[in-house]
C-alpha cells in the first residue's frame, strides 16, 4: 500500500477550483442562515437515527447496550451541547478540524498519538488553530481497539492530549 499522510496548506486556483494536492475540483457552498439552521437540525436528527441503528446492531450481536431510544437521545444531547459550546465559546476561533481517531490510526493499525501530535504541530506551523475531535475512549490509559485487541497508552502519550 502506497498510502502517505500529507499535511500541507495549498492554494486552490480561484478560476478552476482545483486542489493542487489532490487534483480534485472543489466547490464553495454558501449557506443562508435558514439553510445553516436546517443543516444543523438535520444533522442532529441523523445522529439520533444512526445511534439507534448502531445500538440495535450491537444488541443483535449480544452486546449489552442501553435502550436504543435512550442512547440516541444521549447522543443527540451531547452533539447539541457541543454545538452550543462551539457557538458560545470565547477565544481564538478554530480554523481547522482534525478527526483525531482517524489521523492517529492512519497507517498504524492502532492509535498513534505521536502522529496526531505531528499533524497538530504541522497545522499550527501553517498558522492554523486546530480543534481535535477525539472519542474519549482513546484518551484513556487502556481501551479496546477492536475485538481481541487492547491498547495501552503511556503517561507520556496521554499527556499529549492536554
CB within 8 A of 36, min separation 6: which ones? none
Q: H helices then E strands: how many in the chain?
A: 5, 4
For the chain, the straight-line distance linking the first and the last C-alpha, in angstroms and rounded, comes to 33
> What is the structure's pLDDT at 64?
64
> What is the structure's pLDDT at 44?
84
Strands 130-133 and 142-146: unpaired
> What is the structure's pLDDT at 68?
64
Q: Is the pLDDT of residue 9 over 90?
A: no
- State pLDDT tens for residues 75-117: 788 888 988 898 889 999 898 889 999 999 988 889 999 999 9
- 53 vs 31, 58, 64, 105, CA distance in Å? 30, 9, 14, 25
Confidence grade of residue 2 (pLDDT, cut at 50, 70, 90): low
- State pLDDT tens for residues 139-158: 999 998 888 889 999 999 99
Residue 129 carries which DSSP code? -
Contact present, 141 and 158 (Cβ < 8 Å): yes
Output the CA angle 97-102-106, nearest 5 degrees: 130
Contact present, 49 and 72 (Cβ < 8 Å): yes
Confidence grade of residue 47 (pLDDT, cut at 50, 70, 90): confident
Report the alpha-carbon distance of residue 111 to residue 125 in Å, rounded. 23
- The mean-pLDDT minimum among 21-25, 61-65, 100-104 falls in 61-65
Across the chain, mean pLDDT equals 85
> What is the structure's pLDDT at 3?
62
DSSP codes, 130-156:
EEEE--GGGGSSEEEEETTEEEE--HH
> What is the structure's pLDDT at 4?
65
Amino acid at each position: 500500500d502506497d498510502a502517505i499522510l500529507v499535511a500541507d496548506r495549498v492554494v486552490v486556483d480561484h478560476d478552476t477550483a482545483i486542489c493542487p494536492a489532490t487534483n480534485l475540483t472543489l466547490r464553495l457552498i454558501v449557506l443562508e442562515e435558514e439553510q445553516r439552521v436546517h443543516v444543523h437540525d438535520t444533522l442532529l436528527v441523523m445522529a439520533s437515527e444512526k445511534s439507534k441503528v448502531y445500538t440495535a446492531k450491537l444488541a443483535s450481536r449480544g452486546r449489552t447496550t442501553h435502550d436504543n431510544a435512550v442512547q440516541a437521545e444521549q447522543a443527540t444531547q451531547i452533539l447539541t451541547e457541543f454545538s452550543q459550546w462551539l457557538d458560545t465559546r470565547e477565544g481564538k476561533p478554530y480554523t481547522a478540524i482534525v478527526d483525531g481517531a482517524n489521523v492517529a490510526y492512519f497507517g498504524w493499525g492502532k492509535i498513534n498519538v505521536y502522529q496526531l501530535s505531528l499533524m497538530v504541530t504541522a497545522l499550527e506551523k501553517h498558522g492554523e488553530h486546530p480543534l481535535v475531535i477525539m472519542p474519549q475512549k482513546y484518551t484513556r490509559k487502556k481501551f479496546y481497539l477492536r475485538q481481541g485487541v487492547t491498547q495501552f497508552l503511556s503517561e507520556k502519550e496521554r499527556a499529549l492530549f492536554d
